[in-house]
Structure 1
């Protein structure tokens, strides 16, 4: 048994099966809080504990899944290509919204971490919480954060954004498809984009665009903003 659970194939299998179960549960219940990613994470953790699988053994197969994150992100360009005319029409408000959203997210994290006395290493780790995982990990390393904490923060941000985003839009009576897509993609990366795609093709395309631009903006401004705040605080 030990030989079986320590193989890379076992880690890949339990990851895919757990996610498929999450998708089925989410489809059946239609509850946003029962996100497939959240369910699969819980199932994988329980299986690892029950079968006494170490993180090192799991990563033998998990690393191959992680390797697919970058090409999977690139695929999100497909719905954007279909709506390229819409992008040209609303270029200025779209880029302005993504830029201000990214900057606001970084400033909010730094400010709240300082107010609540959270350690600097945690602060630096959760600054890239709203961008896609491959980019977020590199930004975290660049800032001196802890990549594992960054991944957890990114997952939590995506799930929370996908859950409360539609509720916020309803409360504030936001109905514009472009605005909804930009907000979900900028604030909650790929998980938010999956929700945006459910809402409509335009929302999905704008959200896909926002992931890439928000990631690029965060890479450029995160070190600068962090340095400025560190000198002032």
Structure 2
């Protein structure tokens, strides 16, 4: 059985899709943020690999084909943004200010935590791109000399947390404006947060999609500047 799995090209794809499907079913059944499909699929996939004694490289031989869908999926985020173009034109100043505030807050929080816990420069730059999409964040981490694998994990954790608790935080602070919700989720928790924004409404999803791109660009610049502090 192990030999069959190790030689199967589609093992990684099948495990990933089944695990995510189980996550979707749990989310629909219980309607709780903790049953985030991505979080559930990560836990199930790790469990399957450990149980079957399959190493990550073997799993990734099949799962990597799913990565090819990331580019068209990212481009597709432009569709809801186009539909809400009038909202964007009307509120562009507030949107840019909100995204800039989100990026600055993220960078300052990382700086504060690094100073508090006495982390090294490498660990510092590893955490700087935590709130942007993986493709950009990994590039920043690699360029600045960080640990790329840890950066990828931190980005996923940040996104999942934003998806799980983002709506609750918005309610606690009584944020009801759709544009503000979109900016908050997109700039703080990238594409995974945008998935939650799309659940909240079309405007939220569109603005969150824009926030992913703009916050990514701002973080490229901001991370380079902040990297020289420590």
Match of 1:131 in 2: 132
What is the CA–CA distance in structure 2 between the aligned matches of 1:126 and 1:33, rounded to whole Å?
Answer: 24
Listed as ranges, the matches of 1:1-233 within 5 Å are 1-6=1-6, 7-227=8-228, 229-230=229-230
Cα deviation, residue 8, structure 1: 2.6
Q: TM-score, normalised by structure 2?
A: 0.95
Cα deviation, residue 74, structure 1: 1.7
What is the CA–CA distance in structure 2 between the aligned matches of 1:64 and 1:122, rounded to whole Å?
Answer: 30
Cα deviation, residue 97, structure 1: 0.9
Whether the 8 Å CA contact 1:70–1:134 is kept in 2: the answer is: no
What is the CA–CA distance in structure 1 between the aligned matches of 2:131 and 2:61, rounded to whole Å?
Answer: 27
Cα deviation, residue 135, structure 1: 1.2
Q: Deviations over 1:85-117 (max 9, x none)?
A: 110110111011111211220121022112112
Q: Deviations over 1:163-213 (max 9, x none)?
A: 222112112111100001100000011111111111111111110110111
Q: TM-score, normalised by structure 1?
A: 0.94
Q: Structure 1 segments of 4 or more deviating over 6 A?
A: none
What is the CA–CA distance in structure 2 between the aligned matches of 1:167 and 1:132, rounded to whole Å?
Answer: 22
- RMSD across aligned C-alpha pairs, in angstroms? 1.2
Q: Deviations over 1:58-80 (max 9, x none)?
A: 12112222232233222111110
What is the CA–CA distance in structure 2 between the aligned matches of 1:2 and 1:168, rounded to whole Å?
Answer: 45
How many residues are matched? 229
Cα deviation, residue 16, structure 1: 0.7
Which stretch shows the higher mean deviation, 122-131 or 202-211?
Answer: 122-131
What is the CA–CA distance in structure 2 between the aligned matches of 1:205 and 1:54, rounded to whole Å?
Answer: 38
What is the CA–CA distance in structure 2 between the aligned matches of 1:52 and 1:93, rounded to whole Å?
Answer: 51
